[in-house]
Chains A and B, each alone.
Chain A
């Protein structure tokens, strides 16, 4: 059973999210399960409710951690809960990044630091390729879906300045097609 039966308040939500966002490194899909278990441990939300909110959060633009935290907190504490969650997710990384930027500004000209940054930056295409590989493996594929994905990707690559209309238009069109298909 839950050890801690204090009810959720905006202040407690703020500190919970600030703590999670400070100690969890590695992007949305790493942080989401941590949020889920923190909520369950406090007895504020069970896993099923949490994951049904998480599914909804994925439909919003913006960082996954942010939309999940805000939707969870709206459910628990209404507007002020979401307000607290917003700042809890935002403030620690902001301070950390300013610190890191300053360290790089101070030491960035050292050859060893430059090699570190070049080495760290070099793995980025490998990590993106791994994400593509995993998404392709996880998805269910048919010819129309492969064609849709490729056409959208090629349009995005050809017209980098038009990403916004291409994506919004593309997703709206796909939504329309999917909605029509599932109706019949």
Chain B
């Protein structure tokens, strides 16, 4: 129970600063859960899974970590705690509508700067750990697909997993690895 409460608090804090779409949040999630709740390598696999299954990445990460640390109740509570703050913020804004005037332009631009900084931090904390040539090539391929084509990143994730699962040992064998 104590463990679940810490998990809930961890994900509640993630929810407060989870600005700017899935990928910018990943670094924040990683800092919060690695290595206390999940190992470095498992976290990378978890993010790949969270991105290729239905639903927002932060919710999926919370569900999976909660589920592996305490079953159904922990999974539900962690998932709800990620969205607790955002839901409160939406409710508060709706109730206060018109009473507080924010400068929308200034807000957009400061959030854009904030979320790009979060993305850079994510890139830093997720820099490749393995020097396996095949995995590095797959990573570069995913960068190309995602940066320069309109193909859904999902296919890069699943394709790379499939290539490594089916042909990985054979390809490494060709290069004597």
Contact = CB atoms under 8 A, between A and B. Distances in A.
Interface of A: 21-30, 55, 58-67, 70-71, 74, 82, 86, 89-90, 92-94, 96-98, 100-101, 104-105, 112-113, 115-136, 139, 145, 148-150, 152-153, 156-157, 160-161, 163-164, 167-168, 170-171, 174-175, 177-179, 182
Contacts of B45: 117-118, 120-121
Contacts of A168: 16-17
A interface majority secondary structure: helix
Contacts of A30: 152
13 contacts: A62-B82, A63-B57, A63-B58, A74-B90, A104-B49, A120-B48, A123-B139, A124-B126, A125-B126, A163-B17, A167-B28, A177-B110, A178-B110
Most chain B CB atoms below 10 A, which of A60, A64, A94 = A94
A82 B136 CA distance: 43
Contacts of A112: 165-166
A66 B86 contact: yes
A160 B164 contact: no
B157 A123 contact: yes
Contacts of A25: 52-54, 152, 154
B119 A61 contact: no
B52 to A, nearest CB: 6
Nearest to A144: B113
Given A156-B117, A157-B124, A101 B67 contact: yes
B3 interface: no
B94 A127 contact: no
A15 B130 CA distance: 43
